[in-house]
Amino acid sequence: MALDETDRRILRVLQRRGRISNAELATEATLSASACHRRVQRLEAEGYVRDYVALLDARKLDLPTTVFVEIKLSAQADDVLEAFETAVARVPAVLECHLMAGTADYILKVVAEDTEDFARIHRQYLTRLPGVAQMQSSFALRTVFKTTALPV
């Protein structure tokens, strides 16, 4: 089903303030509370709203270091890709894993306490991932911009 501007307005607000009350959301979306509730339920049922989460502050949790790791695999066979993806999903410090087109097969986003903690994660987890032929890590010096909100 196509989204209208009211649906998009609801989604924009929910992305930034997921704990907003239905009454407040209805006001911002210029709808009655019942109409707003029906629309949110439809957006959830149709999969536009996948989940509600709390975004945590990595610095407060002593995980201020972000590392992007480029992975090249030894082969591109389905079984190699599947084995890698299954194993990397179990690494607690990996926040994201993307299959890529280009020079790297995968890019991982990893969080760590510091360089020593990343070295531990590298030794304990990353070097043991199946099918890895080459790895290159780049440390983020500073996060300039970060959002979870999609442009709706």
Q: What is the pLDDT of residues 88-146, one digit of tens each?
A: 999 999 999 999 999 999 999 999 999 999 999 999 999 999 999 999 999 999 999 99
H/E run at residue 86: helix 78-88
Taken in order of first residue, the domains within the chain and their CATH numbers are: 5-45 (1.10.10.10), 65-139 (3.30.70.920)
DSSP assigned state of 105: S
For the record, the structure tokens of 85 come out as 């993806």
Question: For residue 1, is pLDDT > 90?
Answer: no
Q: Are 26 and 33 in contact (CB under 8 A)?
A: yes
Q: Are 129 and 87 in contact (CB under 8 A)?
A: yes
pTM to 2 decimal places: 0.90
Over residues 35-94, the pLDDT tens digits come to 999 999 999 999 999 999 999 999 999 999 999 999 999 999 999 999 999 999 999 999
Q: What is the pLDDT of residue 89?
A: 98
